[in-house]
């Protein structure tokens, strides 16, 4: 069926609308495009590999491979570059007032991100941030989760002359993993001269962006040329709160799903990725697992097979690799903790960009642009 346009099969293929073109949404749209009449709705014309973004801040050319036009992998589907603002049991409404009817819906809006609409604008943003880091003497990073830690490591490795300060409100870094991995990560950062301040916060309301002075909870004033706030982002579900899906949201704004990734109370609506209430850490490789299983289950339903043939998902035990610059990483597996070059060989050089591109059917090594 490759090469057949979905419009030619209207009325034959089921209409599937995917809302959100992030890690999970892009992969499920790609996986279904030759099995259904697929429409992908996303505010951006591109998919950004999120775990590559921090490297792109210190090496803007890295983004040439990690920012991928949706149209490059979605060759047999419909792309709508717009925000979804409302939803009914059979239609999605976009910000421009367009309605898209579906037999099946996939919600994959993850977390709120304020990224520009075009790929060229996003590339320009990385270049601007890179110049700001390059010109800075002191860089202040607020938040000691994986994003803050990886950004501190990227800057410390690529710009060893910079003073890098990492402020974290918790008693240890990377609180979602075990203390052994967190402590070894702290030691690694200190070896690169990163100043880590634990059980400390920055009051952004009393700080001055003009004078570049920031006040911590301990009363210390920090002068920094660059500030990066790497705290958690809200779940991308605010647009659902006034819809028929408001009762499907938990107290954290996540969609309640069953073991098949169907939204509870809706037999034809699936949710995948970070927006779900699956009891596991929110990581990109898990969002990919969600997408592939949900795509498989959608194919079962669209082919008229029994629901009992759908696959069931079991939450995964924690497996995490936090990159530490270009060569090192901290890894926690259920059976061991590693830090240094060995886990770095797995992730840190390419950050799984080649692997992700291949998964979307693209050349692993090069950008097409």
Q: Are 200 and 167 in contact (CB under 8 A)?
A: yes
**pLDDT at position 208:** 76
**pLDDT at position 204:** 85
- The structural domains of the chain, with segments of one domain joined by +, span 6-43+82-113+233-316, 129-232
**pLDDT at position 367:** 57
**pLDDT at position 7:** 41
Give the N- to C-terminal CA distance of the chain in Å, as an integer: 28
Angstrom distance (rounded) from CA 331 to CA 177 = 10
**pLDDT at position 177:** 86
Angstrom distance (rounded) from CA 87 to CA 90 = 8
Task: For the domain covering 129-232, report its CATH number.
Answer: 3.50.50.60
Do the domains 129-232 and 6-43+82-113+233-316 match in fold? yes
Q: Are 203 and 215 in contact (CB under 8 A)?
A: yes
CATH architecture for residues 6-43+82-113+233-316? 3-Layer(bba) Sandwich (3.50)
**pLDDT at position 3:** 43
- Stated pTM of the model: 0.93
**pLDDT at position 348:** 95
> Cα separations (Å) of 172 from 215, 219, 288?
21, 20, 29
Q: Residues in the chain with pLDDT < 70?
A: 1-11, 366-369
* pLDDT tens track for 50-62: 999 999 999 999 9
Secondary structure (DSSP) of 97-133 = S-EEE-SEEEE---B-----SSHHHHHHHHHHHHHHH
Angstrom distance (rounded) from CA 142 to CA 207 = 13
* pLDDT tens track for 192-227: 999 999 999 998 887 777 889 999 999 999 999 999
> Cα separations (Å) of 274 from 1, 193, 245, 280?
32, 33, 17, 10
Beta pairing class for 91-94 and 99-101: antiparallel
């Amino acid at each position: 069926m490759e090469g057949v346009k979905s419009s030619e099969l209207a009325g034959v293929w089921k209409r599937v609308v995917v809302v959100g073109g992030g890690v999970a949404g892009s992969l499920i749209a790609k996986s279904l495009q030759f099995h259904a009449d697929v429409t992908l709705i996303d505010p951006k014309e591109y998919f950004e590999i999120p775990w590559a973004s921090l490297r792109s801040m210190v090496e803007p050319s890295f983004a040439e491979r990690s920012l991928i036009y949706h149209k490059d992998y979605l060759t047999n589907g419909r792309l709508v570059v717009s925000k979804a603002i409302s939803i009914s049991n059979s239609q999605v409404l976009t910000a421009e007032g367009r309605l898209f009817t579906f037999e099946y819906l996939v919600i994959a809006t993850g977390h709120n991100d304020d990224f520009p609409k075009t790929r060229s604008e996003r590339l320009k943003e990385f270049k601007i941030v890179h110049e700001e880091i390059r010109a800075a003497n002191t860089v202040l990073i607020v938040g000691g989760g994986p994003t803050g830690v990886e950004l501190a490591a990227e800057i410390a490795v690529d710009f060893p002359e910079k003073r890098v300060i990492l402020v974290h409100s918790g008693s240890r870094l990377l609180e979602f993993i075990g203390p052994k991995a967190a402590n070894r990560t702290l030691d690694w950062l200190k070896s690169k001269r990163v100043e880590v301040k634990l059980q400390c916060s920055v009051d952004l309301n009393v700080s001055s962006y003009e004078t570049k002075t920031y006040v911590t909870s301990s009363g210390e004033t920090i002068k920094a040329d660059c500030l990066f706030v790497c705290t958690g982002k809200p779940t991308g579900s605010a647009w659902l709160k006034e819809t028929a899906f408001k009762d499907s949201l938990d107290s954290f704004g996540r969609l309640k799903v069953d073991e098949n990734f169907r939204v509870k109370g809706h037999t034809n609506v699936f949710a995948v990725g970070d927006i779900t209430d699956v009891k596991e850490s929110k990581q990109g490789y898990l969002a990919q697992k969600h997408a592939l299983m949900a795509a498989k289950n959608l194919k079962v339903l669209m082919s008229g097979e029994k629901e009992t043939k759908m696959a069931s998902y079991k939450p995964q035990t924690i497996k995490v690799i936090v990159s530490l610059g270009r060569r090192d990483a901290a890894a926690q597996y259920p059976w061991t903790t590693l830090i240094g070059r060995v886990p770095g060989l797995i992730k840190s050089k390419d950050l799984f960009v080649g692997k992700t591109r291949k998964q979307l059917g693209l050349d692993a090594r090069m950008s097409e642009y």
